[in-house]
Amino acid sequence: MKTIFTTVAVFWLSLVATAQEQTTDSLEGKKVVLDEVFVSAVRVTKESPVTFSNLTKEQIKPRNLAQDIPILMNFLPSVVTTSDAGAGVGYTGIRVRGSDATRVNVTINGIPYNDSESHGTFWVNMPDFASSIESLQLQRGVGTSTNGAGAFGASLNLLTDAVSEEAYGQISSSFGSFNTLRNNLKFSTGLLNGHIEIAGRLSRISSDGYVDRASSELDSYFLQGAYKDDNTLLKGLLFGGHGITYQAWNGIDAATLETNRTFNSAGQYTDADGNVKFHNDEVDNYKQDHAQLLWNEQVTEDWSTNIALHYTRGRGYFEQYKEDEDFADYGFQPLTINGAELNTTDLIRRRWLDNYFYGTVFSANYRKDKLNLIIGGGFNKYEGDHFGEVIWARFASTSEIGERYYADSSTKTDFNLYSKANYRLDDNWALFADLQYRTVAYQANGDDTGLIDDTFNFFNPKAGVVYDLDQSNNFYFSYAVANREPNRNDYENGNPKPERLGDFELGWRFVSQKVQVNINIYYMNYKDQLVLTGELNDVGAPLRENVGDSYRLGLEVDANLKIHEKFQWSSNVALSTNKNKDFVFERDGVLQNLGNTNIAFSPNIVLGNRLTYSPTETLGISFLTKYVGKQFMGNIDADGSTLEAYSQSDLNIQYTIEFDSFVERITLSGLVNNIFNELNVTNGYFYTYDDDFSNPGTITTIEGAGYYPQAGTNFLVGATIRF
């Protein structure tokens, strides 16, 4: 404890808070302020008692060379990221304050993005989407009311490219380690006749991955049509992606980690001659397309409205080679060959998802004098089919081509209404209130889930106060409640309860021309929290369970300091304790109360640091460091579930060459990840099972773990030509 306080003291003395120059122009031209209305209902400013961080396009650009959005957010406070393939391309994950991606509410232009059933966010379905983002905001904790499932760790809302007043064309290419290659093309017509813009992007990313065969072939597109005048902004968006990624979700055990870090068991089988081989198409093949129609209208000087219609179509499968599978599991009839009954076979199967998600979100904003009032809501519906096909079998019995060995369906409706208000009492004091009603109806059928027919009604109140001491100092306090329904995997794992969170946030912000700082203390008190158990299901998805009472208590310090005209230092630290209260676990056949245990995947310390040197306006050099403390991958504090502390340092360089010709500028970027070649493991899994066979009459609890190693030193370099 003394060491922790010493660390905080040194950190605090070296910072004393914040400085960060904000850009108002994007690469593609002058930003039209009206674009921001599409996220105004779900975003906050320092006038709200919510803890948040912003990233602009200009801040993302130097590192945007092929890696996914979670990796680009790695250096934000309390953020921990990981990559299945080990190098940030393909399947990536994010945790905020120890809460995994299923607890991070994600919206794009205010429209929910999380998968309705799993609650997960799969950025692999929208590769290179960072190239079409104007800005993003990460609200830690419950945050403000938004659309989609409740935020139990954070809310992430993204604003796509702003309307550009000027025409442009842009070509970007980058390449690097593991045969990683990204190419994209962007364009905008600029405002035609002062009112209409058409813009778009095409991207392709390919990578072999650090892990064996963890390859990715990713295509994406983004098309935008916009109309604006003094009071109206209308946008139509089409975007999506198609990804083929070789599976890398099995991880490796501790012994293999020491001897063969890149080993991947996915697709492994033994042929008829006893040779070990790997199935070439052990892949995840999924396509997702999105359509959004966004309309903002400034009705009067005081009133504005915002309405959006959206539609998402997703379909795809993952393919697996399976050995010695039982006929009965696939509806096959036993065969008799040479007088012997045969009821198992090697086969290749595909497990499909085919789904639709559509609906509307809306809001009205009244802003006058001391009051800023937003009333909004949304109605969304999900329809999904889950089914499986055997595309090859050594012995196919009486099966038919295209026959489905299981076929499940599900529907989910989600309706919410909210009202939020900021009211300024005087020059110093302001009050904040936010009330949301949300109802969810979920119906599903399946061999794993059984029949589900649940309806949830949630009331989520939030309230807070803001005190502005002067132009530089801002204090806030808030209390927010969030309720959340279980996801599909929770039903497969048992009889889950909805969970409830009460979140206290107390903070201080200091803003000056050269210094900006935010210090906040949070206490997140959970009832029936669905925490990660550390185990995975048969498709690599993490399992969760209700744990009764639990909490997260933490201190976050986030600061930016402009040391000199040429030096800028940004740094953050998050210290926390994350506990299950009176956790009960059955070990060796005996139910034991383990007392307060650590919540899985919740490190007590997370540090981020970035030092940027800009000797000229066209050259920037950044040295970035991330440190993540020790974590447990389960909830029983077992030594075998430990994920050791790790750190990573990156070097990022960007140089721009300006031209007075058809080519306006060329921007060169370089990124060296993990320059000290640390052998990091950022994620894993932990499992237990009862063994009552080796010692008849005695139950022994067996423990095991798996790990996801990350790449050593690797690089990406790229060039962007704008004309």
pLDDT digits (tens, 9 = 90+) for 280-292: 999 999 999 999 9
Report the pLDDT value the prediction gives residue 7, as an integer from 0 to 100.
40
Residue 422 DSSP label: E
Instruction: Give me the mean pLDDT over the 668-693 stretch.
Output: 91
pLDDT attached to residue 13: 37
Between 301 and 690, the higher pLDDT residue: 301
Q: What is the largest CA-CA distance in the chain?
A: 92
Checking if the pLDDT of 693 tops 90, the result is: no
Radius of gyration of the chain (CA): 26
Beta bridge partners of 185: 171, 202
Q: Which residues of 113-147 are buried (b: 16+ CB within 10 A; e: fewer)?
A: bbbbbbbbbbbbbbbbbbbbbbbbbbbbbbbbbbb
User: Which pLDDT belongs to residue 130?
Assistant: 96
- What pLDDT sits at residue 301? 92
448-462, 531-545, 603-617: least confident range = 531-545
Q: Using an 8 Å Cβ cutoff, are 680 and 661 in contact?
A: no
Helix, strand, coil shares, percent, the chain, to 5: 10, 60, 30
Mean pLDDT of 187-199: 95
pLDDT exceeds 50 at position 431: yes
Mean pLDDT of the chain: 91
Predicted TM-score (pTM) of the model is 0.92
Taking a C-beta distance cutoff of 8 angstroms, is the pair 509, 520 a contact?
no
Average pLDDT over residues 547-557: 96
User: What value, to the nearest 5°, has the Cα angle with vertex 418 and ends 412 and 442?
Assistant: 10
C-alpha 115/C-alpha 554 separation (Å) is 29
What mean pLDDT do residues 475-493 have?
93
Query: According to the model, what pLDDT value does residue 41 have?
Result: 82
Q: pLDDT confidence of 392, banded at 50, 70, 90?
A: very high
Reported as a single tens digit per residue, the pLDDT across 174-188 is 999 999 999 999 999
With a cut of 90, say whether residue 139 has pLDDT above it: yes
E-only strand ranges, 565-680: 567-580, 584-587, 590-593, 597-598, 605-616, 619-628, 631-632, 642-643, 646-658, 665-673
What per-residue confidence (pLDDT) applies to 447? 72
Residue 30: its pLDDT value, please?
40
Could you tell me which residue, 539 or 95, shows the higher pLDDT?
A: 95
Q: 10 Å Cβ neighbour count for 80? A: 24
Q: Helix, strand, or coil here: 74?
A: coil
| pLDDT (tens digit per residue) in 71-91 | 999 999 999 999 999 999 999
pLDDT at 292: 97
Torsion of CA 342, 344, 348, 354, to 10 degrees: 110
User: What confidence tier does 694 reach under pLDDT thresholds 50, 70, 90?
Assistant: low
Q: How much is the average pLDDT of 525-550?
A: 88
pLDDT at 503: 96
User: What per-residue confidence (pLDDT) applies to 287?
Assistant: 97
**Is the CB of residue 228 less than 8 Å from the CB of residue 195?**
yes
% the chain with pLDDT above 90: 80
- According to the model, what pLDDT value does residue 692 have? 63
Q: Would you place residue 29 in the very low, low, confident or very high pLDDT band (cuts 50, 70, 90)?
A: very low
Domains annotated on the chain, with CATH: 15-722 (2.40.170.20)
Q: What local confidence, expressed as pLDDT, does residue 25 receive?
A: 34
Task: State yes or no: pLDDT of 17 exceeds 80.
Answer: no
- Is residue 516 a contact partner of residue 559, using CB atoms and an 8 Å limit? yes
